[in-house]
Amino acid sequence: MKASDRGSVSSSRIRRGLTVFQTALSVLLLIGAGLFVQSLIRVSSLDLGIDPDGVLFVEPVFHPGVSDFDRAEFFRRARERLAALPIVEGSSTDLSIPYRQAHVTLIRGGALDAIQPAEMRFADIPFTHLVSPGYFDLLGLRIEQGRGLLAEDRAGTGPVVVINRTLARRAWAEQDPIGQCMYIGNPQSDPRCLTVVGVVENARRSRLNEDETMEYYLAAGQSVIDLPPRALLLRVGGDPDEALDPIRRELLALEPRLRFAEIRDLSTLLEPETRTWSLGATMFSLFGALALIVAALGVYSLLAFSVAQRTFEIGVRSALGATRVKILRMVVGEGARLTIFGIVVGGTVALLTAPLLESLLYDTTARDALSFSAAAAILALTGILASVGPAVRATRIDPARALRDD
């Protein structure tokens, strides 16, 4: 058996080393795929606080010279005109659009009065919304206390405001926020008290992985701030694409100074937010699958070559009484050892490089046990399956013929 060893020891080591490398690379890529897939699943299942499906975002672009007053009047008339379209089920204006643009304003009231300007962080300045009645129903925002904004909240009536849960907790943690006074800017320069009439649930507005932000909602009809809305939000029935042309025609007919109107499905504004995890899951899964195939072919080729080189040895073993089960176990065991060694190497590298990947994941640790275990199990099963073919071929070697041919 020793005399029949015709193979080169160095070339055999190179082949085994290459097979281990292929297996380790597969483990790395499959672990990455598992991590990004888990992140994507958790992002997709997030409670956004709003329901963007079936909602169109309309941002008009005017020619230069259109005043803020004219813009505000345009939005008022546009809402009335578009509401007459059969496909439009609800409409509202807004100053801050989810995942698109935000307006922030310093406010005072309750515990917020104790924060000194020099100590303020961005989280201490809430998002401002300038909305129409029906806004909360349109986006599916739930009123948790009090009421929403009504058609009766118009110019000449006492200014009111609806705040989100985070703002209510930050400003009036120990008190009922309903009926409290909130001030925009400095109470000395603008002493108008905005009465809190409702508390609405939180919603993710700027990023999917953002911390809780404060938000408040003003009635567009009360002109509390000297700014016009920036966009329309429309809930449409049926296919949103069928509503684009009728809406665009109505807007262009309404205002000759309107250059064009950008109209998009609100859910498309979420795509850039999920792109990192979607792209990571796709690329790692694709390359992981390719690397898995290459690793399986590597194990199969190495064992097939090894069986061919060891034909005489296997013939001798069979002649001396080795059963087919033992020969099968010997070849499969060799493939399993190579695969396990590759898994250990790849898993170790993945653990060492985990901090580099941590910032790209969402609510998933880069050392996630499930991803590591799944990748190892897939590779182990693949290695065993790839070993079966050469092992079966080894059991069919005729001892007499092997010894005669040698």
Task: Specify the pLDDT at position 188.
Answer: 67
d(C-alpha 95, C-alpha 80), whole Å: 18
Two structure tokens written together for 195: 């009465």
Residue 406's pLDDT is 55
Of 185-194, 249-258, 298-307, where does the model show the most confidence? 249-258
Indicate whether 258 pLDDT > 50. Answer: yes
Instruction: Classify each residue of 362-394 as buried b or exposed e, where b means 16 or more C-beta atoms within 10 Å of its C-beta.
Output: bebebebeebbebbbebbbebbbebbeebbebb
- How many CB atoms neighbour CB 354 within 10 A? 17
Q: Are residues 288 and 397 in the same domain?
A: yes
Boundary of a domain, candidates 232, 264, 294:
232
Looking at the fold, whether 123 and 183 belong to one and the same domain comes out as: yes
Residue 247 lies in a domain: no
Whether 262 is covered by a domain: the verdict is no
What number is the average pLDDT over the span 55-70?
88
State the pLDDT at residue 275. Answer: 73
**Mean pLDDT, all residues of the chain:** 82
Q: Is residue 77 situated within a structural domain?
A: no
DSSP string, 5-17: --S-HHHHHHHHH
| Residues 297 and 376 occupy one common structural domain | yes
The pLDDT value recorded for residue 227 is 82
Same domain, 277 and 354: yes
Stronger pLDDT, 100 or 351, i.e. the higher one: 351
Domains of the chain: total: 2
Q: Is the pLDDT of residue 117 over 70?
A: no
Burial class (CB in 10 A: 0-12, 13-18, 19+), 21: middle
Residues 177 and 304 in one domain: no
Domain boundary among 177, 201, 232: 232
Residue 86 lies in a domain: no
Rounded average pLDDT over 285-301: 84
Q: What is the pLDDT of residues 133-178, one digit of tens each?
A: 888 988 888 999 999 999 898 888 889 999 999 999 988 988 899 9
Lowest mean pLDDT among 98-112, 192-206, 240-254: 98-112
Give the residue, 118 or 233, on which the prediction is more confident. Answer: 233
Q: Confirm whether 253 is domain-assigned.
A: no
Give the per-residue pLDDT at 400.
65
Q: pTM for the full model?
A: 0.70
> Is 84 a domain residue?
no
Are 104 and 34 part of one and the same domain?
A: no
Domain closes at, from 232, 255, 282: 232
pLDDT one-digit tens code per residue, 350-404: 899 888 888 788 778 888 888 899 989 988 898 888 888 887 777 776 666 656 6
Asked whether residue 322 carries a pLDDT value surpassing 80, the answer given is no
pLDDT at 44 over 60: yes
> Which of the four pLDDT bands, split at 50, 70 and 90, describes residue 268?
confident
Query: What percentage of the chain reaches a pLDDT higher than 90?
Result: 10
3-state SS assignment for residue 349: helix
Q: What backbone phi and psi angles, to 5 degrees, belong to 246? A: -60, -40
In this prediction, residue 123 carries a pLDDT of: 64
Q: Do 40 and 134 fall within a single domain?
A: no
The confidence score (pLDDT) of residue 145 equals 92
In a 3-state reduction of DSSP, which class is residue 112?
Answer: helix
Give yes or no: residues 200 and 283 share one domain: no
40: phi > 0 → left, psi -120 to 50 → alpha, else beta; which? alpha
Q: Tokens for 189?
A: 């320069």
- 8 Å CB contact between 247 and 33: no
The residue range of the domain holding 311 is 9-46+273-405
Most confident of 24-28, 185-189, 263-267: 24-28
Indicate whether 237 pLDDT > 90.
no
Could you give the CA distance from residue 355 to residue 194 in angstroms, rounded to a whole number? 47
Same structural domain, 214 and 309: no
Element (H, E) at 265: strand 258-265
* Position 390 in a domain: yes
- Asked whether 127 and 164 are in contact (CB, 8 A), the reply is no
- pLDDT at position 120 is 64
- For residue 7, the model assigns a pLDDT of 47
114/242: higher pLDDT? 242
Q: How confident is the model at residue 202 (pLDDT cuts 50, 70, 90)?
A: confident
What pLDDT is attached to residue 348?
92
The answer on 112 and 220 residing in a single domain is: yes
Residue 193 and residue 313 share a domain: no
Q: Residue 293 has what pLDDT?
A: 86
Q: Quick one: DSSP state of residue 261?
A: E
Q: Are residues 98 and 197 in the same domain?
A: yes
pLDDT, residue 8, reads 45
Residue 87 lies in a domain: no
